[in-house]
Copies of this chain bind each other. A is one copy, B any other.
Amino acid sequence: MSLNKVQLIGNVGKDPDVRYLDNGVAVATFPLATTDRAYTLANGTQVPERTEWHNIVLWRGLAETAEKYVHKGDKLYIEGKIRSRSYDDQNGIKRYIVEIFADNMEMLTLRTTQAGTAQQPMQPGVAPQQPSSAQAVQTADASDDLPF
């Protein structure tokens, strides 16, 4: 009876910050920028481009994929949900933060990942040898022999 879905295509602002909880679960966070194009209104007003920053949070397999393959500057497709939480800042003031909990990620910047060539943008026409995308759940819940 409810839907909370976010889909973003944007650029990673910083290399992911990945940490592991006591139970071994990985959590990755990084900022992602989406930018609206500049345009001109009917009355001639110029509306400049505008960048929105999103706080992306990944868990488990997606976090591990991000740790290995996601870097500052990369273009990503992210699908997930909006989630807000509050915390007390260093001055004891209650702050709210809105995060995007991702459940799907597609990497739109291809990179070769062979030793010595890491971090290089993909050459056109050269196929990557490493997985360049990730859908963590895809195989995990396959409990029979049907290919869907």
Contacts and interface: CB of A to CB of B under 8 A. Distances in A.
B8 A5 contact: yes
Contacts of A77: 3, 9
Given A108-B108, A133-B37, A138-B37, A145 B93 contact: no
A54 interface: yes
A98 B84 contact: yes
A119 B59 CA distance: 38
A17 interface: no
Interface band, chain A: 35 or more
A23 interface: yes
Contacts of A43: 144-145
Interface of A: 1-10, 21, 23-25, 34-37, 39-43, 45, 47, 52-54, 59-60, 73, 75, 77, 81-84, 93, 96, 98, 101, 106-108, 110, 121, 124-125, 131-133, 135, 137-148
26 contacts: A1-B35, A1-B110, A2-B35, A2-B133, A3-B7, A3-B34, A4-B36, A5-B8, A6-B6, A23-B145, A24-B144, A25-B146, A40-B139, A41-B142, A41-B144, A41-B145, A42-B142, A43-B144, A47-B147, A59-B146, A60-B144, A82-B82, A101-B148, A108-B108, A121-B124, A137-B137
